[in-house]
A = this chain, B = another copy of it.
Amino acid sequence: MLKPLGDRVIIEAQEAKEETVGGIVLANNAKEKPQTGKVVAVGNGRVLDNGQTVTPEVKKGDEVVYDKYSGTSVDYDGQKYLVLKESDILAVVE
């Protein structure tokens, strides 16, 4: 499996559905395209200037909303993942 470094998070991207009622529908005309995905791995976190490490707010299994154009796409064992910084995650679906 892939273990992200620092404040990075690995997301299993979900197909963007155009029209939904009870779920999330992503704005098509937005400048930044948000998209949902499931967190599959989380780094140790960002190191502050005082030496402390900030534990990421998201955890494995979280469904998150992120900006479609953030991060780097990686394929592993036939599955497509996205490696992005936790700061590129907009919100968690609760």
A contacts, CB < 8 Å to B: 1-6, 8, 10, 21-27, 30, 32, 34, 41, 44, 47-52, 54, 57-58, 65, 67, 72-78, 80, 83, 86-87, 89-94
Contact = CB atoms under 8 A, between A and B. Distances in A.
Nearest to A33: B72
B91 A5 contact: yes
Q: So how many copies of this chain end up in the complex?
A: 7
Nearest to A89: B5
Which 8 residue pairs across A and B have the least CB separation, nearest first?
A25-B75, A2-B91, A27-B73, A30-B73, A49-B49, A51-B52, A83-B90, A4-B91
Contacts of A10: 91
Contacts of A65: 2, 74, 83
